[in-house]
Amino acid sequence: MVVDTEDYPVESARVTLKGKRKNAKVKEKSTTDEAGAYEFTELDNGTYIIQAKKKGYKKAKERIKLSGGEDKEVDLLLEEKKKK
Protein backbone atom coordinates (compact mmCIF):
# COMPACT_ATOMS: atom_id res chain seq x y z
CA MET A 1 0.00 0.00 0.00
CA VAL A 2 1.19 3.53 -0.75
CA VAL A 3 0.21 6.21 1.77
CA ASP A 4 1.05 9.83 2.53
CA THR A 5 2.41 11.24 5.79
CA GLU A 6 -1.12 11.44 7.23
CA ASP A 7 -1.70 7.75 6.44
CA TYR A 8 -4.13 8.48 3.58
CA PRO A 9 -3.89 6.21 0.52
CA VAL A 10 -2.17 7.71 -2.52
CA GLU A 11 -4.11 6.90 -5.70
CA SER A 12 -2.42 6.69 -9.13
CA ALA A 13 1.13 6.45 -7.79
CA ARG A 14 3.50 4.60 -10.12
CA VAL A 15 5.14 1.60 -8.47
CA THR A 16 8.08 -0.23 -10.04
CA LEU A 17 9.96 -3.35 -9.07
CA LYS A 18 13.51 -4.14 -10.15
CA GLY A 19 16.47 -6.25 -9.12
CA LYS A 20 18.80 -4.96 -6.43
CA ARG A 21 21.76 -4.18 -8.71
CA LYS A 22 22.37 -0.49 -9.32
CA ASN A 23 21.58 -0.49 -13.05
CA ALA A 24 18.97 -3.25 -12.99
CA LYS A 25 16.06 -2.87 -15.40
CA VAL A 26 12.48 -2.53 -14.21
CA LYS A 27 10.86 -5.98 -14.09
CA GLU A 28 7.31 -5.00 -13.22
CA LYS A 29 5.16 -1.85 -13.14
CA SER A 30 1.91 -1.11 -11.36
CA THR A 31 -0.31 1.85 -10.52
CA THR A 32 -2.03 2.21 -7.17
CA ASP A 33 -5.80 2.08 -6.96
CA GLU A 34 -8.06 4.37 -4.87
CA ALA A 35 -7.04 2.45 -1.74
CA GLY A 36 -3.32 2.96 -2.47
CA ALA A 37 -2.96 -0.76 -3.22
CA TYR A 38 -0.69 -2.34 -5.82
CA GLU A 39 0.33 -5.91 -6.58
CA PHE A 40 3.11 -7.86 -8.23
CA THR A 41 2.57 -11.58 -8.81
CA GLU A 42 4.63 -14.66 -9.64
CA LEU A 43 8.00 -13.23 -8.62
CA ASP A 44 11.09 -15.41 -8.38
CA ASN A 45 13.02 -15.71 -5.13
CA GLY A 46 15.54 -12.93 -4.67
CA THR A 47 16.12 -9.38 -3.53
CA TYR A 48 14.20 -6.54 -5.16
CA ILE A 49 13.82 -2.78 -4.92
CA ILE A 50 10.24 -1.45 -4.91
CA GLN A 51 9.86 2.25 -5.69
CA ALA A 52 6.77 4.48 -5.65
CA LYS A 53 6.50 7.95 -7.11
CA LYS A 54 3.87 10.51 -7.96
CA LYS A 55 4.08 14.13 -9.08
CA GLY A 56 4.22 16.45 -6.07
CA TYR A 57 5.77 13.80 -3.79
CA LYS A 58 9.30 12.65 -3.00
CA LYS A 59 9.83 9.11 -4.26
CA ALA A 60 9.96 6.26 -1.76
CA LYS A 61 11.77 2.95 -2.07
CA GLU A 62 12.16 -0.22 -0.08
CA ARG A 63 14.36 -3.29 -0.44
CA ILE A 64 12.68 -6.66 0.01
CA LYS A 65 13.84 -10.26 -0.06
CA LEU A 66 11.53 -13.04 -1.22
CA SER A 67 12.03 -16.74 -0.64
CA GLY A 68 9.97 -19.90 -0.86
CA GLY A 69 6.99 -18.46 -2.74
CA GLU A 70 6.03 -16.22 0.16
CA ASP A 71 3.57 -13.33 -0.02
CA LYS A 72 4.87 -10.05 1.34
CA GLU A 73 3.06 -6.79 1.96
CA VAL A 74 5.22 -3.69 1.55
CA ASP A 75 3.94 -0.25 2.55
CA LEU A 76 5.58 2.80 1.02
CA LEU A 77 5.34 6.33 2.44
CA LEU A 78 5.25 9.28 0.03
CA GLU A 79 6.10 12.70 1.45
CA GLU A 80 4.83 15.83 -0.27
CA LYS A 81 7.54 17.99 -1.79
CA LYS A 82 7.90 21.35 -0.15
CA LYS A 83 6.61 24.22 -2.27
CA LYS A 84 9.22 26.80 -3.18
In 3D space, the residue among 26, 33, 39, 35 whose CA is nearest the CA of residue 73 turns out to be 39
What b/e sequence results for 21-59 when a residue is b if at least 16 CB atoms lie within 10 Å of its CB, and e otherwise? eeeeeeebebebeeebebebeeeeeeebbbbbbbeebee
d(CA 38, CA 7) in angstroms, rounded, equals: 16
Architecture of domain 2-80: Sandwich (2.60)
Local confidence pLDDT in tens for the 84 residues of the chain: 999 999 999 999 999 999 887 777 889 999 999 999 999 988 888 899 999 999 999 999 999 998 877 888 999 999 999 876
Indicate whether this model's pTM tops 0.85. Answer: yes
